Structure 1
Amino acid sequence: MSSTCPQASVMAFSVTTKCWVLLVALVYVSFFGFKFGNAHEDLPETGSVDGHDIPQTGAVDGDPAQIVAKALLCFNDKFIYSSCEESYRLNERGNINVPPEYTDQYCNGPCLEETHLVLTCIGNILSNFFFYNKATIQDVRETLQAGCSYTSERGDFNVAEHIEADENSANKAGKSILFGFMPMIIGCGLLI
């Protein structure tokens, strides 16, 4: 028979407050310290038809000027923008000039769909594309969603205003980061 010391096993399995704090901090960092679900599958694909490059199908041999030029071709592609009146189209400056009285026709007609096709075309070529007004593809998509929604923002297609709203919410993101670091700082203080 082997004799076991009850005190030794209790001491081996006892967990101090510092160990609990360390455990909680490690679990916190492991769950909230990484971005889950972000696939990196938005790389451009190469393609051409009859020796002619099609804008929405791929990248150009890595020359930045050619890549941007190819992305800009999406705005003038006759296969993408075919039915939407030119004055209501998204342009290179990142503007969508839709008067409030035309909102229903824009949102329920071909313009909205064709604008999304242009954004997809640009994104397939250059995923981090910036318009001249510093809007991203996502900024324009959010503006379209808000402008066509049935909220107080319906009919407001001003991309610049949506960018400002996003910049103002950046302060809130900074605060949440600060609150994320607080448990780690407290944990370090308890461990020392």
Structure 2
Amino acid sequence: MQAGGLGAVTKTVEGFGGVAKQYEQIEKVSAHHGNSWEVLLYEQIGRDRALMFDLAEKLQFTATSEDGRVLDALAHAQRNEAARGEYISALGEDGGRVDISSGTQNWQKAVVDRTRPAQFVRKHFEAMVFTCLAEELRTGDVAVVGSEALRRARPPASTPLPSAANWRTGCGQPPRRPTPGTRTTRAW
């Protein structure tokens, strides 16, 4: 064995964040190449977690069809919002398993840990719930109560929107002056 061989390897791995960090990187690459991007999503939306829970609490959602699986999953996520561990219970208030079939097969694989069948991986469950909720809102399968009244109160699409300069002066603020040395027009 070469002098310092194992020590050099250990030192190199530690220099890159340690074994746990390297294992996490390997899982990310594996997920990317295995077309399982869902497990990577929490890192992107995790910093907005509190905002998403706050918004979900303030808005009242309703299913526009008989399928309320996403809203049931959202309610389960909200009940477990204070959880900070890696896992949450897969059982709902009624003692039955929370239905996650509204998510894709990849989501279901990411959410369920085979070694803990009665639990969900919390961060993947939350990411799945908010992703599925966004999709259901986009397709109209879930609606925000009162959103129809907002749509009717909005000016018609043919009404021009005020420009930023007009908005600033309407609020009592002086119009912005161009910063010296910057372009004020765009050349398309």
Q: What interval of TM-score do these two structures reach, taking the shorter chain for normalisation? A: under 0.3
Higher strand share: 2
Higher helix share: 1
Given the two structures, how large is their TM-score scaled by the length of structure 1? 0.26
Whichever of the two has the greater Rg, that structure is 1
